[in-house]
Structure 1
Amino acid sequence: MTSTASNGPGFFGELLDPAHRVDPYPLYERMRAAGPVRLGSMPVVVLSSHADCTAVLRHRDAAVDRSHAAIPMGPTPVHDLAGEFGAGLTGIAPMLFRDAPDHTRLRRLVAAAFTPARVRGLEPRITALADAALDRAGARGALDIVADLAYPLPVTVICELLGVPPVDEPRIREWSGLLARTLDPIAAVGAGRPDPAELVRASNELHGYFEQLTRYRRTRPGTDLLSELIAAEASGAALTHDELIATCGLLLIAGHETTVNLISNTVLALLRQRHHLAILRGARAFAGAVIEESLRFDPPVHLVPRIARAPIPLPGIDLERGDLVILMLAAANRDPAVFADPGRFDPARHDRHLAFGLGQHFCLGAPLARLEATVAINRFAARVRRPRLSEDPPPYRAHVTLRGPAAIEVEFDAIAPAA
């Protein structure tokens, strides 16, 4: 059965409307109730139910390689938005936009260096960084969860993992922030559309930076992840030089921007549900359940694209070869067919959310994101006395895909010394 719902373009226009950034969930509910939607005669389909999103995420013919799309698309969103400047872009499509067998090879090689043991070993350092951030806020007498904790913590962690010197972090933050906007559909049509020349500059400078750092590490290996990626081999096939640089860029952007939202959204939920914050103060292990519910309730990534490289039949629509499929993960995570009372923040749930995806493209950095968020909220709960929101709702960034607060100003009585 094929759906060609005429209200599709209207829904998509509303999705891009900045007025929905503060609370897009009523819109998501209407989209989900409408079922699968094809945007007019375009080869674009929007799916919002948990069942549909799950089926596509797991389907072998749901691709990420943009060359399969029936509409013209560059190898990455940077190329799409850069337009006539695209020829100036360097590098190749990172793992995020490649399918098996290339994706399988790249993921295996990256995973060889990005091991669970390495992630677990980062906890003391992440704790020290979170405590230092809270120390600075306490000395200043002001705390913005986004600017003071959620933003600097993951970028410092990923920079240290990759062996980026601290003096270069400001440049890394600038490149990451700009290039992350290319993952957002509003960047292509919104009033705040990035300057294509700036995208090219950021992409080329990031590529050039990691090119230089990689060449340095090839002759002077260290204990950082970049050095291990250089040395990593699986089945005799190592990362090429260009693949290595593209992977560094992916780890930087994916490992930073998404975790900012996860930490911010979780603290915001705790400040609105203070009984959960009280439980967390007395039971640090409760943080795991809080993080999982935050990932369901208000995920850091609201939508992901897939391309049907062959027909994919679904109960409400037939996906045609070349269709660009937009999976509304945030809508699926509040599907009442799966989650009872889905608009309620309840860490006691055990249902399966889709925040990290499913299948071969399940988020490789999920353990690190969970660890960073767990440490951040535990240190916040343990040290910040009587925190309360200065403004509710807080201001939000214009992003649709990587939706999150622009700032969360918190008033407090005191910030206790680190134990």
Structure 2
Amino acid sequence: GLPSADLPRLRDLTHDQVFTQELLPSASQLALSDTATAELRSYFTDLVHQRRARPGDDPVSRWIATWDAMEPDRDKADEGVYFLALFVLLAALETTANMLSTTVLLLVEHPEWWEKLAADPGLVPGFVEEALRYDAPTHVISRVAAADCLLDGVEIRKDEMVHLMVGAAHRDPARHSDPDRFDPLRTPGHLAFSGGIHYCLGAPLARMEAHVLLRQLVGRLPRLALAHPPSWAPRVAFRRLLNLDVTLA
């Protein structure tokens, strides 16, 4: 229920905010993240106050009602809703936008699949899963160790930062045969949505969006071709295209 006029600015702020999750962020990137975080906090704090004063049929209003039932302190409840709203924006907008762009790029780079998907839309899910393995929107997941442990012969101490290289795992030849080949017919398997208690709650929605996008593209357009090679943002954790310029082939 956010105003559509706000979405471009929120998108830009999201791009800047996630610099804090980069593998080795620079000082300038962290400064951008700090500035974006402050503006996002102000935006969503105001939004929570507005929806509390004038509740509607929207997620934020429903979250407020749910939080109020659990937390008698209104200030703490509002803070909880703020964090949830911010998290949903960051988790959904950055990763899903990157996934959709990369999936379209892979389709354009493999034109033989355009006709295959158009002729058999049942192949779309396999194409999306392979895109998630081949070039996931998140290549690094960082965690803080809760206790001393030994992981595959590597000692990890409590409170140490551990960087999980998801992109490398997706190209592990011990798990995927010929891992550098894009093959939508291979048996699906990836960590693009994490796993266990950290499994992405938005995974079904992200998949549905990608399925709809591909079906509409191959069903409504004769074919797309790259106008010129795209550029990538200087990132490791969150893969993001800076442009994807195409023409009708």
* TM-score, normalised relative to structure 2: 0.90
Whether the 8 Å CA contact 2:48–2:60 is kept in 1: the answer is yes
5 Å matches for 1:238-249? 240-249=77-86
Distance across 2 between alignment mates of 1:283 and 1:232:
43
Gap runs ≥5 in structure 1: 1-162, 414-419
Alignment partner, residue 29 of structure 2 = 194
Equivalent residue for 2:59, pick from 222, 225, 228? 225
Which residue identity does 1:347 align to in structure 2?
P
Distance across 2 between alignment mates of 1:171 and 1:389:
27
* TM-score, normalised relative to structure 1: 0.55
Q: Is 1:308–2:141 an aligned residue pair?
A: no
Equivalent residue for 2:239, pick from 403, 406, 409? 403
Whether the 8 Å CA contact 2:19–2:33 is kept in 1: the answer is no
Q: Is 1:371–2:204 an aligned residue pair?
A: no
4+ residue runs over 4 A deviation: none
Alignment partner, residue 89 of structure 2 = 252
* Larger CA deviation: 264-273 vs 310-319: 310-319
Alignment partner, residue 191 of structure 2 = 354
Secondary structure in structure 1 of the residue aligned to 2:155: strand
| Post-superposition offset of 1:303 | 0.3
Distance across 1 between alignment mates of 2:105 and 2:64:
39
| 1:245-304: CA deviation from partner (whole Å, max 9, x where unpaired) | 111111111111111211111111112222222111122232211111111111000001
Whether the 8 Å CA contact 1:217–1:227 is kept in 2: the answer is yes
Alignment partner, residue 179 of structure 1 = 17
Alignment partner, residue 70 of structure 2 = 237
Equivalent residue for 2:119, pick from 246, 258, 282? 282
| 1:309-360: CA deviation from partner (whole Å, max 9, x where unpaired) | 2122223322222321110001001111111111111122224211111111
| Post-superposition offset of 1:241 | 1.2
Distance across 1 between alignment mates of 2:21 and 2:80:
20
Equivalent residue for 2:158, pick from 301, 310, 321? 321
Distance across 1 between alignment mates of 2:140 and 2:33:
22
| Post-superposition offset of 1:365 | 1.5
5 Å matches for 1:78-97? none
Distance across 1 between alignment mates of 2:96 and 2:87:
14
| Post-superposition offset of 1:410 | 0.9
Distance across 2 between alignment mates of 1:328 and 1:199:
22
| Post-superposition offset of 1:386 | 2.8
Alignment partner, residue 341 of structure 1 = 178
Which residue identity does 2:60 align to in structure 1?
L
Whether the 8 Å CA contact 1:312–1:320 is kept in 2: the answer is yes
**Cα gap change, 1:186 to 1:412, in 2 (>3 Å):** farther
Whether the 8 Å CA contact 1:339–1:351 is kept in 2: the answer is no
Equivalent residue for 1:208, pick from 42, 45, 58? 42
**Cα gap change, 1:395 to 1:171, in 2 (>3 Å):** closer
Distance across 1 between alignment mates of 2:37 and 2:211:
31
Percent sequence identity over matched residues? 35
| Post-superposition offset of 1:233 | 5.6
Secondary structure in structure 2 of the residue aligned to 1:194: helix
**Cα gap change, 1:230 to 1:373, in 2 (>3 Å):** same
| 1:140-181: CA deviation from partner (whole Å, max 9, x where unpaired) | xxxxxxxxxxxxxxxxxxxxxxx2111222332232122122
Distance across 2 between alignment mates of 1:340 and 1:174:
38
| 1:57-114: CA deviation from partner (whole Å, max 9, x where unpaired) | xxxxxxxxxxxxxxxxxxxxxxxxxxxxxxxxxxxxxxxxxxxxxxxxxxxxxxxxxx
Which residue identity does 1:363 align to in structure 2?
C
Whether the 8 Å CA contact 1:308–1:323 is kept in 2: the answer is yes
Aligned length: 245
Whether the 8 Å CA contact 1:263–1:377 is kept in 2: the answer is no
Distance across 2 between alignment mates of 1:257 and 1:334:
23
Whether the 8 Å CA contact 2:95–2:137 is kept in 1: the answer is yes
**Cα gap change, 1:341 to 1:202, in 2 (>3 Å):** same
| Post-superposition offset of 1:195 | 6.7
